[in-house]
Amino acid sequence: MKPIFTEGPLLGIRTLLLIVLSVGLLLTDTRTNQLHTLRNGLATAVMPIQYMVSLPADVISWSQSNFVSHSSLVAENTRLQAEAQLMQARLQKLLTLQHENNQLRELLSSAPTTVTKMLASQLISVNTNHFAKQFVIDKGKSAGVYLGQPVLDAYGVIGQVVQVNLLTSRVMLISDLHSAIPVQDVKSNTRAILIGDGDNQSLSLLHVPKTTKLKVGDELVTSGLGQCFPVGYPAGTISAVERESGRNFATITVTPKAHVSQSRLFLLVWPNKDYNPKGVS
């Protein structure tokens, strides 16, 4: 084992030499630029080491930043999609209201001039029975609706009231198999009975002789007979006339003026004071 005292002088000499060397380097660097190149070289040499040391922290920071950005984008995208769906729903509602307003405007503009009172009503429900063409409206006895009252849409006669409740009424369409409306041809004044075929797209004229002057394209309006519908309400247009041999009556098909399968707004009318429907005093 080496004596301890032998290390003391050597350590002191080494320390002294390092101090002198350090002071010399500092003075040289301060007064001259000779160590500038050496310092740059050393900085360049240790740059990869510094990069490798800081790389994990940079990777962690980049990952956190990207994760937050992705989460923010997902949240923003979800919010925008929800807003887009809400705006689409509002747009559809506005379009529906606009369509109903247009229908109501057409309905009021088509009101006959021979009525003293009219009231707009709205569809509530439709009878799903194929043979019973009926629907329910949101006006009843409290609004003055009466049995047999004419009901129109913006284009013509759509039916008549067959049941009156306090707040609602049931309307039988002109296409119902039990519907029968007295009509007349606008051109020839030929009278006939317009009946329902159970089909919303076509009606028929009952018991019209083969010698009739009716032809395709003729317009039919209510004749006022039977005291159910006043004179002059648009009812339909003749779409086909067939005169078969061996038969006394012609087969006449009529397309209804009213949009039987499409209308949702209707007009209840009260004829003028000279008209007195059955059952109404």
CB-CB neighbours of 9 under 10 Å = 9
Residue 17 lies in a domain: no
Q: Are 160 and 229 in contact (CB under 8 A)?
A: yes
Residue 195 lies in a domain: yes
- Asked if the model's pLDDT at residue 276 lies above 70, the reply is no
Residue 276 lies in a domain: no
- Asked if the model's pLDDT at residue 280 lies above 50, the reply is no
Q: Are 222 and 229 in contact (CB under 8 A)?
A: yes
Residue 281 lies in a domain: no
Q: What is the mean pLDDT of the chain?
A: 78
Alpha carbon distance 259, 79 (integer Å): 42
**Does residue 138 share a domain with residue 45?**
no
Provide φ and ψ at 273, rounded to 5°.
-65, -20
**Does residue 217 share a domain with residue 169?**
yes
**What pLDDT sits at residue 261?**
85
**Does residue 199 share a domain with residue 81?**
no
Residue 22 lies in a domain: no
**Does residue 149 share a domain with residue 85?**
no
DSSP per position, 53-100: HHHHHHHHHHHHHHHHHHHHHHHHHHHHHHHHHHHHHHHHHHHHHHHH
Last-in-domain residue among 62, 82, 109? 109
Residue 6 lies in a domain: no
- Asked if the model's pLDDT at residue 165 lies above 90, the reply is yes
**Does residue 152 share a domain with residue 57?**
no
- Using the structure block, give the residue that is written with the tokens 């629907």: 135
CA gyration radius, the chain: 47
| Enclosing domain of residue 98 | 40-109
Report residue 250 as tokens: 């012609």
Assign 281 a pLDDT band (cuts: 50, 70, 90). Answer: very low
Last-in-domain residue among 69, 88, 109? 109
The pLDDT tens digits for 46-100 are 677 766 777 777 667 676 666 657 777 777 777 777 777 767 766 665 655 566 6
**What pLDDT sits at residue 140?**
94
**Does residue 218 share a domain with residue 94?**
no
